[in-house]
A and B are shown apart, each in its own frame.
Chain A
Amino acid sequence: GAGVSQSPSNKVTEKGKDVELRCDPISGHTALYWYRQSLGQGLEFLIYFQGNSAPDKSGLPSDRFSAERTGGSVSTLTIQRTQQEDSAVYLCASSSIDTQYFGPGTRLTVL
């Protein structure tokens, strides 16, 4: 079946602009996760959803970051007033039990 999809694949924006990143999980997967990976670095956990609820938002770097999930499916990660340090690959994963499968990621570049 279809895997996790993310859009856009690449996003270039100017400092101070808002961006929205979308994740479409594997059908039937109840949990959805957002991670961030900066160049040459490991994966940094941001937030995860169980259904439409976010039990753990502890990884969000600042209040400029927010995320929502509707209908237990698609999730949107929003970054307001982007800064250059937000430049990274944003990865989404989904799972049905505990095994996480990743999407292709969105590469965000803030100029």
Chain B
Amino acid sequence: QKEVEQNSGPLSVPEGAIASLNCTYSDRGSQSFFWYRQYSGKSPELIMSIYSNGDKEDGRFTAQLNKASQYVSLLIRDSQPSDSATYLCAVNPLRGNTPLVFGKGTRLSVIA
């Protein structure tokens, strides 16, 4: 059973702080990793993808991958109230076009 685990939260951070969201996955052979943001009542929106160990930065977002520890994280710098949402970690256990395995998501609340 391929699993992706996330702390459900809520994670509350003050405006301007760094929010750190974490995810672990069970399938050591997993190939690609994604973070989606989902606002209440909306569908998931892709934020970042990461494929190799290390950090990947895109604006205020940094994804970090450690395949040895089966761990992927998302850092949000200078958090804004508009970042308040549920963040879904998703893992592709195979290569190419195959279904993703999703975590249940971490709810982030950025307090102004």
Contacts and interface: CB of A to CB of B under 8 A. Distances in A.
Q: Is the interface of B mostly helix, strand, loop or mixed?
A: loop
B34 A99 contact: yes
B88 interface: yes
Nearest to B32: A98
Interface residues of B, number: 24
Contacts, number: 54
Contact of B96 (A33, A35, A97, A105): A97
A91 B43 contact: yes
Contacts of B44: 43, 91, 102
A100 B100 CA distance: 8
Nearest to B31: A98
Contact of A31 (B36, B45, B95, B97): B97
Interface in A73-96: 89, 91, 95-96
Contacts of A31: 97
Nearest to B45: A102
Contacts of B32: 98
Interface in B64-99: 88, 90, 92, 95-99
Contacts of A99: 34, 46, 49
Contact of A43 (B31, B88, B95, B96): B88
Given A43-B44, A91-B44, 18 more contacts: A30-B97, A31-B97, A35-B102, A42-B102, A43-B88, A48-B97, A48-B98, A48-B99, A50-B97, A59-B99, A89-B43, A95-B97, A98-B32, A99-B49, A100-B90, A102-B44, A104-B42, A104-B43
13 contacts: A31-B97, A33-B99, A41-B104, A42-B103, A42-B104, A45-B99, A48-B97, A56-B98, A98-B95, A99-B34, A102-B36, A102-B44, A104-B42
